[in-house]
Structure 1
């Protein structure tokens, strides 16, 4: 490619001849190997505007990055300009108005710290360095979703820099259709989000953190726990949510792990999960009643600083028979060569997610019972190809038992992604894309 003049860009600019480039180009998923032309760390809106104008003038593609957690690395790219908003991370909590406004670079950890220390829970994500904007725009699954709804359900306003470099105000009054679209379409489709405003929930001081681990578990016990979990959610208290992972770990062998939050006391939490506790296998159970901030902090601290992985997620809309459960839990028994961790996971939905008005958000799978994820993690890059192929193979198996796909758990090999992500909302969203970004300045893989 012809050498470009980066004059006109502002902010902190990292080009390929800058020493920090190799580190700055990396995503949280270290399996992503992409080499942008330059990265612009924006410090203010003017930097974003200048980056958009420069990219259009020089006919260079744009990618928008905040936390850098996109599973397939679509917030990065080869020979593109990355507009990185991670340094725009101010948070404004207005208790008298009952609202919270964040800039585009705020991560889950900062968000939980700001709300939790003020006594408010927040329906955010589990991983600390995920960008709160990307989390929200994809719908936003979290351990608090059954109690407070998806992350996007609290969204009441936004500010976006569009393809012309102009600011768009989004609210229930202005550009209301775009507010609907931001609630579940996924990041990067309409422009660069510089701020989001959320309605605060009622204060909740304490909650119970639930951790249950069953390593080295026989297959029959894994199947039985899968069926117990499935049944439990039919009557589970909305104050509780659990993620279940059937895993194959280099360290712990094949087992089952539950992680969850109950917005109540340990006694109440014990009653809620009694069907799991009464199971005969040797369960390692830890339950801690503490501040909501500490609960979320412990969940976040359980995540590594980075990983090399491949994963994808789809939606569960029905119950499974014992035979189907046997096939599903068996998927991780033959993990790929070099895999350090593989899992098939269920992320609980229901509660306030089901109660939310389908017409108020673009999140199209509100009626699902769970999100089903499949993943493989490796350390040595020589095993990357085999682990990727393993994940795609298993993903194609779970397609028989699931519907659609979760935009925040994308898989590059999913050729029907538009229908799978957006269901009946596809046409309306495509029309909005034509209105707000007619030249696809913010086009990217699996974009609208």
Structure 2
């Protein structure tokens, strides 16, 4: 399969589109079909009039139930979830966030910050009825100061990765070590760790963080950094997604990518998975840090894709040991250009695949993904065993009836991710060898409405498969670990799976900065 859409078959196009589905924007006209009652929605209590009165200084930024503005902005990425917020506030400044948080605290209403809105469990709209959804897309400024190693990029917490990459490029050729999906918000992505195709060279996105501005439970705007509010800075880097406050801006150390970068894809039939996965596993120990790579396992086959920081000839030399082990792929597509060209390529934007301005997600941008999805994850601490590879072969070949796509993405970690100790931040998965993301999707219509029934066969595929992977994981790798950016409320012992021994300190910090539990959702850091 190739990323040149003109050469894709219908099935290949569908697979590739689904591969990046967790990253696209909900169309503003997505409202329930008439007469359709979503399964998660309950009869909401009467709106708290005291709360609404408190929010009056925000004027038209406050969207109340049963209004067109509320319905247009009520839903997030995964249309399975139709929780009914108390209100949606379209914040345009940190001051707006402060007002909203103070009002929510006074009325005991949980606060749900929303940057890109891509929570697999609907936590971007509260994960429950009656939350205050604080939409942060109005906080999208990007400024770069300084030069060289002293450069700093201050970024509004509501900007999405595509527009962020474009803005940084236009301000001096900068970038960040973040993910591929263009409509994922920088907020949740960063606060959960932030893995991407530059992570083997530059670490996680939290490793580039210099400073965070956050509205705390008192409604005060505070700064967290290595020298200010250090405990909060620790917690926000890995466990900060909605548990400790509302982040309004990040200050990063931006990255100058190589002058030439080479993006690439290699494809194999699923029948070759044992050989390819063995080579992939062995490659992790010796691969150049200039290689950022992922591998997609799906019924249509295997696809390895990534970006190399260097020329095409240098990429060929770096990949030679891996390709010698796998044998010649069924197809390949190697392109030398700028790093931002590779970012655009793997953002998978239809409207103009050659114009980097498409990363701005403006105009006729259409995501083309299902927006009905379920995701899970596992973090593997060591090289994969043959039994695990056999499970990939078994379940990768299955295609549930009614599904748009199902796939397993295998991220190759290591490199600079391991340069930071596990207790430096709240992110505990520093020694990860590979990270699996399991995804099932249904209904690919880009204008699909929320609240439709689940695909039972899709969820059965997910649940049955994951159960087998869990048995194998416990037998071969120890305590179950998952990546919090692929949040899953069904993962066994989620507090330990996502945060390990760090959970004790995280609860202590939570109690210190948010004793009233203003920032709460089904998997927020608890007080005890």
State the alpha-carbon separation in 1 of the partners of residues 224 and 260 from structure 2.
33
Matches within 5 A, 1:277-356: 277-278=323-324, 279-280=326-327, 282-301=329-348, 304=367, 306=369, 307-356=371-420
State yes or no: 1:409 paired with 2:486: yes
**Residues 121 and 204 in structure 1, CA contact (< 8 A), matched pair in contact too:** no
Instruction: Specify which structure has the higher proportion of helix.
Output: 2
State yes or no: 1:45 paired with 2:97: no
> Of residues 248, 255, 273 in structure 2, which corresponds to 1:222?
273
> Of residues 131, 144, 150 in structure 2, which corresponds to 1:93?
144
**Residues 116 and 292 in structure 1, CA contact (< 8 A), matched pair in contact too:** no
Distance 1:139 1:218, change over 3 A: closer
* TM-superposition CA deviations, 1:225-244 (whole Å, max 9, x none): 11111111121001002111
**Residues 112 and 133 in structure 2, CA contact (< 8 A), matched pair in contact too:** yes
Mean CA deviation greater in 149-158 or 104-113: 104-113
Mean CA deviation greater in 138-147 or 297-306: 297-306
**Residues 80 and 454 in structure 2, CA contact (< 8 A), matched pair in contact too:** no
The match for 1:66 is 115
Distance 1:26 1:191, change over 3 A: same
Mean CA deviation greater in 121-130 or 147-156: 121-130
**Residues 277 and 283 in structure 1, CA contact (< 8 A), matched pair in contact too:** no
CA shift at 1:126, angstroms?
Answer: 1.0
* TM-superposition CA deviations, 1:15-65 (whole Å, max 9, x none): 222113333112122222222121100011221122112222333222110
State the alpha-carbon separation in 2 of the partners of residues 341 and 239 from structure 1.
31
The match for 1:206 is 260
CA shift at 1:7, angstroms?
Answer: 2.2
Matches within 5 A, 1:368-379: 368-379=432-443
The match for 2:46 is 2
State yes or no: 1:116 paired with 2:169: yes
State yes or no: 1:83 paired with 2:97: no
Structure 2 residue runs without a partner (length 5+): 1-44, 351-366, 445-451
CA shift at 1:282, angstroms?
Answer: 4.7
Instruction: Specify which structure has the higher proportion of strand.
Output: 1
Mean CA deviation greater in 7-16 or 144-153: 7-16
The match for 2:225 is 171
State yes or no: 1:272 paired with 2:294: no
**Residues 270 and 393 in structure 2, CA contact (< 8 A), matched pair in contact too:** no
The match for 1:251 is none
* TM-superposition CA deviations, 1:218-263 (whole Å, max 9, x none): 43x1221111111111210010021111112xxxxx3001111100
* TM-superposition CA deviations, 1:189-238 (whole Å, max 9, x none): 11000111111234533311112233xx243x122111111111121001
State the alpha-carbon separation in 2 of the partners of residues 157 and 274 from structure 1.
40
**Residues 427 and 499 in structure 2, CA contact (< 8 A), matched pair in contact too:** yes
State the alpha-carbon separation in 1 of the partners of residues 162 and 201 from structure 2.
20
State the alpha-carbon separation in 1 of the partners of residues 345 and 275 from structure 2.
28
The match for 2:13 is none
**Residues 189 and 442 in structure 1, CA contact (< 8 A), matched pair in contact too:** yes
How many pairs are equivalent? 440
* TM-superposition CA deviations, 1:368-399 (whole Å, max 9, x none): 11111111111184443432343233222222
**Residues 186 and 408 in structure 1, CA contact (< 8 A), matched pair in contact too:** no
| Superposition TM-score, scaled by structure 2 size | 0.80
**Residues 186 and 407 in structure 1, CA contact (< 8 A), matched pair in contact too:** no
> Of residues 135, 152, 155 in structure 2, which corresponds to 1:102?
155
> Of residues 256, 272, 279 in structure 1, which corresponds to 2:302?
256
Q: Secondary structure at the match of 1:358?
A: coil
CA shift at 1:356, angstroms?
Answer: 2.1
State the alpha-carbon separation in 1 of the partners of residues 157 and 384 from structure 2.
40
State the alpha-carbon separation in 2 of the partners of residues 142 and 443 from structure 1.
28
**Residues 128 and 300 in structure 1, CA contact (< 8 A), matched pair in contact too:** yes
State the alpha-carbon separation in 2 of the partners of residues 423 and 230 from structure 1.
25
The match for 2:288 is 237
State the alpha-carbon separation in 2 of the partners of residues 106 and 213 from structure 1.
33
Q: Secondary structure at the match of 2:285?
A: coil
The match for 1:397 is 468
Runs of 4+ that moved beyond 6 A: none
**Residues 119 and 205 in structure 1, CA contact (< 8 A), matched pair in contact too:** no
Q: Secondary structure at the match of 1:27?
A: coil
| Superposition TM-score, scaled by structure 1 size | 0.93
The match for 1:367 is 431
Q: Secondary structure at the match of 1:33?
A: coil
> Of residues 228, 244, 254 in structure 2, which corresponds to 1:190?
244
State the alpha-carbon separation in 1 of the partners of residues 212 and 327 from structure 2.
50
State the alpha-carbon separation in 2 of the partners of residues 280 and 271 from structure 1.
15
CA shift at 1:167, angstroms?
Answer: 1.3
State the alpha-carbon separation in 1 of the partners of residues 165 and 412 from structure 2.
21
State yes or no: 1:156 paired with 2:156: no
